[in-house]
Amino acid sequence: MENLLLGSGLVLGAYVLIYYNLIKGSRCRSSRSLKGKTVIITGGNTGIGKTTALDLARRGARIILACRSKERGESAVYDIRRESGNQQVLFLKLDLASLASVRQFADAFLKSEPQLDILINNAGVSSDGATEEGFNLMFGVNHLGHFLLTHLLLERLKRCTPSRIVILASNAYRNGKIDFGALNMPTGGWKQNFQAYCDSKLANILYARELATRLQGTNVTCYAVHPAVLCLAGVVRTELFRYMKLWMKVLVFPIAWLFFRDCTDGAQTSIHCAVQEGIEPFSGRFFANCRVKEVRSHARDDAVAKKLWEVSESMVGLAG
């Protein structure tokens, strides 16, 4: 019995050390007020997006939740207003799997809101399927939808400088590759789905890099962020898991509850890049755990980043 208690204590102690030193991660330390600022957060009705929205609402910002579901979006608006005491939290419908919806959202926003100071491209999917235009769903939502959205809102951001763009990427980029001959390949099976997700996250980082280059001298800065811990699997417990097959959920959930970060911890780097003063010189860089992190060489390929931009322009109908 004593050996069992001793063993249990050692296991518990080890877990506490691992959690607080490796999993929990850094917190955003900025107390900056956002009164008078307007923020768009895609996918702000749940998970990291909702947690980020709540934090920025508590700082006094006017928050636009850009979400696909009207019911869930309005429910999140109610929750955030109640918890923050900020009534300047609104819902606008946006389906990133439809370029037509992206254009409608941008048009509605620009007609109704005179200001945009922070754009947080937070929404993402990890399931197979296709967008309304027939693009691979993960590449279409995680990259193309946000690419078009940012382009359509860029002039408003330039008019409200200093302004920022935050792009949720992931350490999954490490396994990603940009194959211009297969950007729109259909997926099926967990291996193909995982690869497509990694590819879309690499696209996020390359996009931030090229965007920063094109924004030099405008006082608009952008940052790619990894929402989870650096040294473990790099996954936050969010509703992204809802896209998993049942058998995968059974395997992953017990581990997730023990070793993956919750949404409050996972949102810290997004919040940091939205509000922290003095990070402007790092525009286009990748942040993790509220710090700049060097990426691998394939995520620093400026030629690929430039070509990806040009191909993306063509895919969303901006070229020519």
Compute the distance between CA of residue 248 and CA of residue 190 in angstroms, rounded to an integer: 9
Residue in 317, 299, 98 with CA at minimum distance from that of residue 208:
299
Q: Are 138 and 127 in contact (CB under 8 A)?
A: yes
Q: How far apart are CA 226 and CA 293, in angstroms?
A: 10
Cβ-based neighbours of 72, under 8 Å, separated by 6 or more: 45, 46
Q: Strand 163-168 to strand 220-226: parallel, antiparallel, or no bridges (unpaired)?
A: parallel
Tokens of 47: 């998970």
Nearest of 304, 320, 317 to residue 152 by alpha carbon: 317
Catalytic residue among 173, 197, 207, 243: 197
Q: Which two tokens stand for residue 8?
A: 């249990």
Please confirm, yes or no, whether 197 is among the known catalytic residues: yes
Could you list the active site residues?
197
